[in-house]
Amino acid sequence: MTPLNQEDQFAELVRLRRLFHRNPETGFTEFWTTARICEYLEPMNCSLMFGKDLQAALVEPERMEAQLNTKAYDQCLEKYPDDPWIPRFEGIPGVVVLFKGKKKGPRFGFRFDMDGLPIQEACAETHQPFKNGFASDTGNMHACGHDGHITLGLGLASLLSKNLEELSGEFYLLFQPGEEVLMGGRLYSKLGFIKDLDYFFSAHLGMSGPGMTSCGVSFFADKRLRVVFKGTSAHAGGAPHAGKNALLAACTAVNGLYGISRHSGGSSRINIGEFKSDNVVNIIPDHAEFELDLRAQTNPVMEYLLGRAENIIQGAALMQEVTHDIRFEAETETAPNSGEMVSEVRKACLDIGMKKEQILDRLQISGSEDATFIMNEVLRNGGKTTYIGIGSPSKGTHHNENFDIHEEDLPRGVNLLFQLAQNLSRTC
């Protein structure tokens, strides 16, 4: 295998991470990001699938249409008129890269998410990206470390490209849009080749303690619902009895939802992070809506939460004689980690020089992750999978304006993924 020049590798990974950190793009608007990924990979010994070809690779290509953001694409074309890549995407962000080893062997999938969040990045000397001049000033921020994930993907691509002669099998690298909006993973799970994968891995930075790696991270299932109440407006002084108060129904529902009993079968979370009722002070409010986020450790606990939530919303509507509508906005599933793959990650950690005490087999976290759709698709078709947590002493929590990864952890992540590919490639 081509030996690593550690200093050069680290400098290159830091350069890439900072390039992407400076210009975050939110879910399904990652056109500039996809362009830089393609530009980096094109000279390598691989094939790229993007734009309409990527859409055509979906089992149901029309599924892509609902996610596309034409306005954002047009703005991006206008902002970067000389970019040779962006026009080639035809409005579709994301790219899948295939490296083929010299000999036949297993099919691998590695997924890297690449979207930022609508958060204004901290402007403080204590915030390393600001201090070193690569913080974003666009109102969007890589506050979940996906800039680091792209970097892990490009670092892995670079090692695969240099070592294809020694490797057996096919290596698909999925640079997936729209993780934070929980739609990209579901879409990519329907790419035709996913069902043929023998092994599928995804990883997140900052999950596990500093210097640690978790070999099998489990996530909560997540359902996001928009709840809309419609009533009847009336004069607040003259005829309040003639009105049907949608605002009151929504408030009653919110109180009830936060009061759902916990389930002994597993942990759960409930949050209402947005509430709208655009009415006027002297009119009985005829409209109110909110977005509800339900999370559960297991699918049965999620079913319980959902059932209770629906009853509470329906009951609140009935109390005020208003109508209600519940729409699913997005969701993720839970996905089991294959025991055999958890062991393989442990072995790869040891192979790259990590100590036993730095390796954790299992980690349950209460966040959610849309790679679970791809994991479940792989499992349904006989493949094996696990989700890896790459510990990093991050400043600020994920999704916070002060969030920052520890760049020193990037080489560990890249080398771990490559070691996994090497080890499993040899077993065929």
Give contact residues for Zn ion (rule: CB under 5 A). 144
In this complex, which beta carbon is closest to Zn ion, that of residue 144 or of residue 191? 144
- Segment (H or E) for 307: helix 299-320
Work out how close the CB of 149 gets to Zn ion at its nearest, in angstroms, rounded to a whole number: 8
CA 318/CA 257 separation, integer angstroms? 15
CA 132/CA 2 separation, integer angstroms? 32
Work out how close the CB of 144 gets to Zn ion at its nearest, in angstroms, rounded to a whole number: 3
| Chain length of the chain | 428
Q: Which residues pair with 294 in a beta bridge?
A: 223, 270
Work out how close the CB of 180 gets to Zn ion at its nearest, in angstroms, rounded to a whole number: 5
In this complex, which beta carbon is closest to Zn ion, that of residue 144 or of residue 360? 144
In this complex, which beta carbon is closest to Zn ion, that of residue 205 or of residue 301? 205
Q: Which residues pair with 276 in a beta bridge?
A: 289
In this complex, which beta carbon is closest to Zn ion, that of residue 141 or of residue 234? 141
In this complex, which beta carbon is closest to Zn ion, that of residue 117 or of residue 257? 117
Distance in Å from the first CA to the final CA of the chain: 18
Residue 106 in 3-state DSSP? strand
Work out how close the CB of 72 gets to Zn ion at its nearest, in angstroms, rounded to a whole number: 19
* Nearest 10 degrees: Cα torsion 296, 299, 305, 311: 160
Asked whether 385 and 340 are in contact (CB, 8 A), the reply is no
52: nearest Cα among 83, 94, 82, 14? 94
Work out how close the CB of 384 gets to Zn ion at its nearest, in angstroms, rounded to a whole number: 23
In this complex, which beta carbon is closest to Zn ion, that of residue 108 or of residue 387? 387
Cα–Cα separations (whole angstroms), residue 25 to 15, 32, 72, 84, 323: 18, 8, 10, 19, 37
154: nearest Cα among 143, 162, 165? 162
Work out how close the CB of 24 gets to Zn ion at its nearest, in angstroms, rounded to a whole number: 12
Asked whether 326 and 288 are in contact (CB, 8 A), the reply is no
In this complex, which beta carbon is closest to Zn ion, that of residue 233 or of residue 400? 400
Which residue number is nearest to Zn ion in terms of Cβ?
144
Work out how close the CB of 391 gets to Zn ion at its nearest, in angstroms, rounded to a whole number: 15
Asked whether 95 and 113 are in contact (CB, 8 A), the reply is no
52: nearest Cα among 100, 95, 112? 95
In this complex, which beta carbon is closest to Zn ion, that of residue 144 or of residue 228? 144
Q: Which residues pair with 216 in a beta bridge?
A: 362
CA 384/CA 64 separation, integer angstroms? 26
Neighbours of 399 (CB within 10 A): 13
Work out how close the CB of 184 gets to Zn ion at its nearest, in angstroms, rounded to a whole number: 11
In this complex, which beta carbon is closest to Zn ion, that of residue 30 or of residue 289? 30
Work out how close the CB of 186 gets to Zn ion at its nearest, in angstroms, rounded to a whole number: 16
